[in-house]
Chain A
Amino acid sequence: MITVANVDKTFGDNHVLKNVSAVFEAGKINMIIGASGSGKTVLMKSIIGLHRIDKGKIEYDGRNLPDMRMSDIRRLRREVGMLFQGSALFDSLSVLENVMYPLEMFSKTTKEEMMDRAVTCLKRVNLPENSYQLAPSEISGGMQKRVAIARAIALQPKYLFCDEPNSGLDPKTSLIIDQLISEITHEFNITTIINSHDMNSVMEIGEHIIFINKGEKAWEGNKSEIFHVDNDELNNFVFASNLYKMVKKANL
């Protein structure tokens, strides 16, 4: 479980996060949604520790991140998996080597065991075997995302962060990636936080949703509640697309 309490973050004169508090439970898909520039990426990067917050607490099962020394943060990060918007696979390594990388870096198992674990992870994300030796640039965007998920779960993380996991993917591949993240979260009881502005994703897998607007938490709830909220900013965000306008009408 990750607890965020009264978090403030400024960049110069720009007050990006204002007193944000939330609880992200394990075994659930927690989603941070909001328009571009709302502060959701800064919130996620602050939770991971890539940005140092000005005020507040970020607790990983009781361990307060801002109080930690760099060496402790590094140790904590070995319990964290992250799926980046652009996959962030290492260009110089093959698909298999990318998944083996965290194992080689931090596990004390033999080379064969590492290879087995990497292959298990790649099979879990349904990646065809003939792509294992290819370079990341030789596979499609959807496959790159799957490799990134396999790499993120290689060390069996307790916490999984996904930054715009569907960015640049077609609707069908997006759905596959969403379902994969959801399955992995429930299977391994991971605390998953997804940063997204894709309403299809929210409606597909979102179990706990936080809406960030102008750096503040403007709403919190689940996907069944999202259509019946009296919040103009949230409604403007959710019903920006005609599809969801029609869904709302149908619901009413």
Chain B
Amino acid sequence: MNIFEDTGKYILLMKRVLVFPDRWSMFFRQLPKELEKLGLQSLPIVVIISIFIGAIMTIQTKLNTENPMLPTYSTGLVTRDTLLLEFSSTILCLILAGKIGSNIASEIGTMRITEQIDALEIMGVNSANYLILPKIVAFVFIMPFLVIFSMGIGLIGGYLVGVFSDIITTADYLLGIQYAFIPYYVFYSLVKSLVFAFLIASVAAYYGYYAYGGALDVGKASTNAVVNGSILILFFNLLITNVMLN
């Protein structure tokens, strides 16, 4: 029963969020702040995770495909396709669901329990639109850039394995990441990232917006935002993959 109630409340909230802002000037004042907070401040974690995952994936692929029948470039090819298809969109979004989701839910949740949202409502402001729309727009806008950035950094991580170890030669790796490249995979990954970005921001905002009680409840809202956001990412990953790759 709870899931239906939550879905209904989420849809009603989105109906209030996805309308034109009361004042565009206020919206455009918020937007760069959100881009900086949700996008630029996520860059360090994106770089760290992508470079390590790229390197680890290269090593594991190489070690698990020690077969003379397989061409030497296969390690680079598998690493590239895994990064493009799954890691840089889905896994990265799952990680960002933790960072961004908890950030949004706790910020809005704290505003709720300290009556700042009530203050906005009393002033006649559409608080849902004012608080949530810039976050959704900023995160949806910045996410494709983060994904492309992650793809590039992940590939560099794999290359560094070739440079600093004997596991694979850089020539084989470079050949592999260029071999049989399918641009549609990048498009598929970007489409997924847009959907996931919307889910992360909107689900976290929903849990924050309807938080009530005290600090402990803001913590619960934050946890719910991360858990449910992650589950929805996995569900929509299955759905989109089925539609776009099947």
Contact = CB atoms under 8 A, between A and B. Distances in A.
A74 B124 contact: yes
B74 to A, nearest CB: 51
A78 B124 CA distance: 6
B246 interface: no
Interface of A: 48, 50, 73-78, 80-82, 84-86, 88-91, 101-102, 104-106, 161
B125 A50 contact: no
B167 interface: no
Contacts of A82: 118-119, 122
A82 B120 CA distance: 10
Contacts of B119: 82, 84, 88, 90
A161 B110 CA distance: 23
Contact of B126 (A74, A78, A80, A91): A74
Interface string B86-129: 00000000000000000000000011001110110111111000
Contacts of B23: 104-105
Q: Which of A73, A85, A90 has the most C-beta atoms of chain B within 10 angstroms of its own C-beta? A: A90
A50 B25 contact: no
Contacts of A48: 122
B22 interface: yes
A77 B26 contact: no
Interface in B6-23: 22-23
A88 B126 contact: no
A48 B115 CA distance: 14
Given A50-B122, A86-B115, 16 more contacts: A50-B118, A75-B124, A76-B124, A77-B122, A78-B123, A78-B124, A80-B122, A80-B124, A81-B122, A84-B118, A88-B118, A91-B116, A101-B123, A102-B123, A104-B26, A105-B22
B214 to A, nearest CB: 12
Given A105-B23, A105-B26, A88 B123 contact: no
6 contacts: A75-B124, A77-B123, A77-B124, A80-B124, A82-B118, A84-B115
